[in-house]
Amino acid sequence: MFLGIGQMVATIIILYIAKISRKVQFQDFDQSIFSKVFPLPLLYVANHITGLASTKKLSLPMFTVLRKFTILLTLIMESRILRKTFPPQLVCSVLAIVFGALVAASSDLAFDAEGYTFILLNDVFTAASGVYTKKKLGVPGLGKYGLLFYNAFIIVVPTTITSACTGDLQEVTAFKDWLSFGFLCYFLLSCVMGFVLMYSIVLCSHYNSALTTTVVGAIKNVAVAYIGMFIGGDYLFSWPNFIGLNIW
């Protein structure tokens, strides 16, 4: 959670410097910002928390395969909220991906009910976040830079309070390597790359549909699933599960 806070702070600093140096433009803060950005901050926090919880409970291959339900949920939400229609070929492709996920999940030998609950909630919040990001990009005066800046600006304090209440912040202050130059470099790089990732997602949503952004984001999970079979030690092999992983 603290790493997520670091990524929010990096987003605020980078975009604020870019704004005052006139490299980017977005409206100044006023009371209308909350209504313009809502509910994205809530969805981001919920997505972050459920994602961390599900990653802790599930093996990497099962985490990635159950994330595929995000694609179906994005398709449904985009058709309902944004009133978008999709060709039958695309719908069939999405259903094939979900079928592969169901086959893999049906024979998961390391089934964890709490982990499955968290990952399915994470799918809902991720899909909703993608669809509302696309919707909010059309709000006058906000744009992609304002959306990123104010989303991070609104949630950084509540997330910090949550981190303190859950004990996450106490673990951070007790960490021994804050004076290590190598660790600090990696931590700061991760914060900056978190901004790059969020900007890439918003940029992709700006030029494409929310569904396209979700599918493109899922491509990396192919490598994650196969690598996770050998690294981590918590993947239990079975043929139906392996076949399901390969279908999607």
Q: Which residue would you say has higher pLDDT here, 232 or 124?
A: 124
Closest CA to 27 of 187, 188, 140: 140
Q: How far apart are CA 124 and CA 118, in angstroms?
A: 10
Q: How far apart are CA 117 and CA 188, in angstroms?
A: 32
Indicate if the pLDDT at residue 110 is higher than 80.
no
Local structure of 153: helix, strand or coil: helix
Domain count, the chain: 1
The whole model's pTM is what?
0.78
CA 82 to chain centre: 20
* Host domain of residue 186: 1-246
Q: How far apart are CA 163 and CA 171, in angstroms?
A: 10
- Look at the chain and count its residues: 248
pLDDT band at 115 (very low <50, low <70, confident <90, very high): confident
pLDDT tens-digit profile of 178-222? 989 999 999 999 999 999 989 998 998 889 888 888 888 777 666
8 A C-beta contact, residue 191 and residue 9: yes
pLDDT at residue 133 in the model: 92
156: left (phi over 0), alpha (psi -120 to 50) or beta: alpha
Token readout for 117 is 């609950």
Phi, psi of 156 (to 5 degrees): -65, -40
